[in-house]
Amino acid sequence: MPFVNRLLHKIQSKRAATQSPESSQAHFDQEEDELPSPSWLHRCAHYLHREITLDRGFDHGLVIAGLALLFLGWIMVSSASSELATSRYGSLFFFSVRHLIFLLIGLSAAAIVLLIPLRWWQANSFYLLLSALVLLLLVLIPGIGREVNGSVRWISLGPINVQTTEIAKVFVVVFFAGYLVRHLQAVRYQAKYALLRPLLVIGILCVLVLEQPDFGATVVIAGTSAGMLFMAGMRWFHVILVVLAGTGMAVLLVIVAPYRMQRLTSFIDPWAHQFDTGYQLTQALIAFGRGHWDGLGLGNSVQKLFYLPEAHTDFVFAVLAEELGLLGACITLALFILLVYRALNIGRRAEATGLLFAAYTSYGISLIFAIQVFINIGVNTGLLPTKGLTLPLMSYGGSSLVMSCVMLALLLRVDHETRQHTSP
């Protein structure tokens, strides 16, 4: 701000010099070559002033990253699903058209969310949590929940299947944001509030999600909730207890489920099980190897020709790396990093202005994006055991895509209200 003010002051001085008596003309001529024209400087200073004082109507970085990922996701789903769509439905663009429809629905839902004040979300945070619990219970009722590949995660509404965990993730973030605002000091200094009550809520949610079963969504919900407690200022001792408890539960869940143990062992040496439990991972690694630096070209993937299962959903990043190469994969990763960074920055600004509910909501959404991106790309590249979890904003899946758009809209709403709060 001091730099901008000095720049504006100098522009005004130069303008005054042009209207002063002839005695100041010599001074004007002397400085004439030192600075560009006043009109050019005024435009630069106005732009800097607008950027620094947050007079913009929205966060440009967040919008650019979000829209770029949505568009890139549609392109990659269209490419990765082309052969499967032709073989199964006789239409090259079957999944592409459905993905575009879901994208339009998501953008429409985002437009509606942008109009809803954050105070409504805060006032109804408890009821939203109850709604999430009801949805997670309904999906387990025979005749209501729809089973796909051994998991009951969807509720059929005509031609649309709603994945309840995607809705639950957002509602849990809203609930915990409201909880932290109401009990912030207690969360920071009393173990009863810092551990027992939040862990009870997380435990009930995780049990319901594991009944589907959906281990990946469980990790996202538990990790996001614990991360929000940490960012709210929970003591390090309590943080360590939460991490140890979560790690112990994860290890126990892997041990008691034979298929999870098989995934873990195949992850350690996928090539020893390349035609069995390590098949998906080895095919994904082959896709990365084929891509080299600049890729095979859009639409030229070989692995999508029925070699790589779920090429347009959980492993769309592997097809992207094969067709667009390491360069395309790095650009995509950079867009996700920008998205998470802008989300965290929006939360930081909201917290600095005293809008705690807005801040914790932003932190929670940024954690959902970060955790899901880390797990999905980690699975695609062999850094983590194989787990079915979509890549936000990119993978095929109506519920995931729509709720990702809703989360972006919530971030923009937080940004909008923060700017309103800080504007004179």
Rounded distance between C-alpha atoms, residue 143 and residue 223, angstroms:
31
pLDDT digits (tens, 9 = 90+) for 214-249: 888 888 998 998 899 888 888 888 778 878 888 888
> Is 375 in contact with 389 (CB distance < 8 Å)?
yes
Q: Same structural domain for residues 28 and 145?
A: no
User: What is the pLDDT, as a whole number, of residue 322?
Assistant: 94
pLDDT digits (tens, 9 = 90+) for 107-148: 999 999 999 999 999 999 999 999 999 999 998 888 887 877
Rounded distance between C-alpha atoms, residue 356 and residue 194, angstroms:
17
| 53 pLDDT higher than 60 | no
Q: Same structural domain for residues 45 and 66?
A: no
DSSP 218-243: HHHHHHHHHHHHHHTT--HHHHHHHH
User: What is the pLDDT, as a whole number, of residue 153?
Assistant: 81
Lowest mean pLDDT across 10-14, 19-23, 247-251, 380-384: 19-23
The mean predicted confidence, pLDDT, of the chain is: 82
| 12 pLDDT higher than 70 | no
Q: Same structural domain for residues 147 and 45?
A: no
Specify the pTM: 0.82
Q: Same structural domain for residues 58 and 22?
A: no
Find where tokens 């069995």 sit.
276
Instruction: Label residues 61-79 b or e (16+ Cβ within 10 Å = b).
Output: ebbebbebbbebbbbbbbb
User: What is the pLDDT, as a whole number, of residue 242?
Assistant: 79
Q: Give the structural domain span for 236.
A: 54-422
Helix count (H) and strand count (E) of the chain?
19, 3
Side chain identity at residue 79, one-letter code:
S
pLDDT digits (tens, 9 = 90+) for 348-372: 999 999 899 999 999 999 999 999 9
Q: Tell me which residue of 371, 369, 404, 408 sits closest to 387, measured CA to CA.
A: 371
User: What is the pLDDT, as a whole number, of residue 414?
Assistant: 94
Strand arrangement of the beta sheet that strand 160-163 belongs to: 145-148, 151-157, 160-163
Q: Same structural domain for residues 288 and 346?
A: yes
User: What is the pLDDT, as a whole number, of residue 27?
Assistant: 43
pLDDT digits (tens, 9 = 90+) for 295-336: 898 988 888 888 888 788 889 999 999 999 999 999 999 999
pLDDT digits (tens, 9 = 90+) for 92-105: 899 999 999 999 99
> Is 75 in contact with 298 (CB distance < 8 Å)?
yes
User: What is the pLDDT, as a whole number, of residue 193?
Assistant: 65
Number of domains, the chain: 2
| 149 pLDDT higher than 60 | yes
| C-alpha dihedral (341, 347, 349, 350), degrees to nearest 10 | 160
DSSP 274-300: TTTTTHHHHHHHHHHHHHTTT-S-TT-
The residue ranges of DSSP E strands in 136-241, in sequence order, are: 145-148, 151-157, 160-163
Residue 90: φ, ψ to 5°: 75, 15
Q: Same structural domain for residues 308 and 362?
A: yes
| 82 pLDDT higher than 70 | yes
| 404 pLDDT higher than 90 | yes
Positive or negative, the Cα torsion across 316, 165, 175, 407?
Answer: positive
Q: Same structural domain for residues 95 and 32?
A: no
Q: Same structural domain for residues 29 and 100?
A: no
Side chain identity at residue 197, one-letter code:
R
Q: Same structural domain for residues 367 and 399?
A: yes
Q: How far is CA 298 from the centre of its chain?
A: 25
| 171 pLDDT higher than 70 | yes
User: What is the pLDDT, as a whole number, of residue 39?
Assistant: 57
Lowest mean pLDDT across 133-142, 191-200, 204-213, 381-390: 191-200
Q: Tell me which residue of 387, 360, 357 sits closest to 374, measured CA to CA.
A: 387
User: What is the pLDDT, as a whole number, of residue 324?
Assistant: 94
Q: Same structural domain for residues 237 and 121?
A: yes
pLDDT band at residue 14 under the 50/70/90 scheme: very low
Rounded distance between C-alpha atoms, residue 274 and residue 129, angstroms:
42
Q: Same structural domain for residues 222 and 342?
A: yes
Rounded distance between C-alpha atoms, residue 318 and residue 298, angstroms:
13
| List of long-range contacts for 326-332, beta carbons under 8 Å, 24+ apart | 326/291, 326/292, 326/293, 326/294, 327/293, 327/294, 327/295, 328/291, 328/295, 329/288, 329/291, 332/69, 332/72, 332/394
Alpha helices per DSSP H over 81-163: 82-89, 94-114, 118-123, 125-138
User: What is the pLDDT, as a whole number, of residue 212?
Assistant: 83
> Is 364 in contact with 372 (CB distance < 8 Å)?
no
26, 49, 72 — which closes off a domain?
A: 49
Q: Same structural domain for residues 243 and 320?
A: yes
pLDDT digits (tens, 9 = 90+) for 385-398: 877 788 999 999 88
